[in-house]
Structure 1
């Protein structure tokens, strides 16, 4: 597993430090792999969450779903809100990005994006304008393949992070969760907590 990080200027560094959690990092337990499908070195499918009949709820004026069903979609677009890297567990090859509710972004939910079976990543610590997670196009993968000596079979497991940019992750299918949570609340991917939770949550898998 290899990792690359990109330097940021002083203003972005200060913004990142200002978001530091005064009580320490939110708990991110990595004792179990999330069942999100194939990974670049684990080719078989793993079972998803058991399906349940969704119940529509309204929270903060926006509909959220309390459900056991994971929605699969070709991409995840969350623009206009700040995301940051909040956790990486090298021993379990797990990466977590998070966007907390911020008044400046006019957001009232937390969004977390999880990558399992990580083989390679090129990341910024902060994405100020949001993210667009999707599988790399043929042209994008060709560039990354030449730069990083990627095997051809990794094309199906290479995920771009930004609408325009070089950030990417080679991993299993990304999974995301969104809910109204306080800043100090545990991660939505805290695997010690019951799932589905007892609060409204949207969730899905990209791939």
Structure 2
């Protein structure tokens, strides 16, 4: 059975994430942190953003803390990047130490028994209980 849940914050502070895929239209973005069984990390973590409008992040992130931006953070980031963000814009921060963020629909993440080159969870394996351990989204 796949554990499905919602949380205010998703944190993976000891993991290395990389931008792994974007859709051809660049409206979808996937971040991936690979499993490393020899290091005690048995599952790959994948974070998926849909309806992407703006991205401000490096290609590699050490440690991820995913949460919705507060109204003050959203206003500050919008001004700093020349963005006119609606009050209901989905602005999601990726780090506690940096101003890395994505403007998109509500992100999802999954923990799965997948190798580096396997396809994305949300396209290829979303309902496969033998592969996917959990799927979460922000509240």
Shared fold per TM-score greater than 0.5: yes
**Higher strand proportion, which one?**
2
1:196 maps to what in 2? 127
Q: Does 1:181 align with 2:114?
A: yes
Q: Which has the larger radius of gyration?
A: 1
TM-score (norm 1): 0.60
2:11 counterpart (77, 98, 113): 77
Q: Does 1:108 align with 2:27?
A: no
Deviation digits for residues 104-162 of structure 1, max 9, x if unmatched?
7531110000000000010111112x100101123322221111233342554000011
Give SS of 1:163's match: coil
Compare relative contact order (CA 8 Å, sep 6+) and give the higher one, 1 or 2: 2
Q: Does 1:140 align with 2:73?
A: yes
Give SS of 2:15's match: coil
Name the CA distance, whole Å, in 1 between partners of 2:27 and 2:103. 11
Q: Which runs of 5+ in 1 are unaligned?
A: 1-54, 56-65
1:33 maps to what in 2? none
Deviation digits for residues 35-54 of structure 1, max 9, x if unmatched?
xxxxxxxxxxxxxxxxxxxx
Q: Which runs of 5+ in 2 are unaligned?
A: none
Give SS of 1:141's match: helix
Name the CA distance, whole Å, in 2 between partners of 1:195 and 1:161. 23
Please list every run of at least 4 consecutive aligned residues from structure 1 whose deviation after the TM superposition is greater than 4 angstroms.
none
Name the CA distance, whole Å, in 1 between partners of 2:80 and 2:39. 35
Is the contact between residue 80 and residue 105 of structure 1 (CA under 8 Å) also seen in structure 2?
A: no
Deviates more, 1:194-203 or 1:139-148: 194-203
Name the CA distance, whole Å, in 2 between partners of 1:102 and 1:154. 40
Q: Does 1:119 align with 2:53?
A: yes
Is the contact between residue 96 and residue 113 of structure 1 (CA under 8 Å) also seen in structure 2?
A: yes
Aligned length, in residue pairs: 138
Is the contact between residue 89 and residue 104 of structure 2 (CA under 8 Å) also seen in structure 1?
A: no
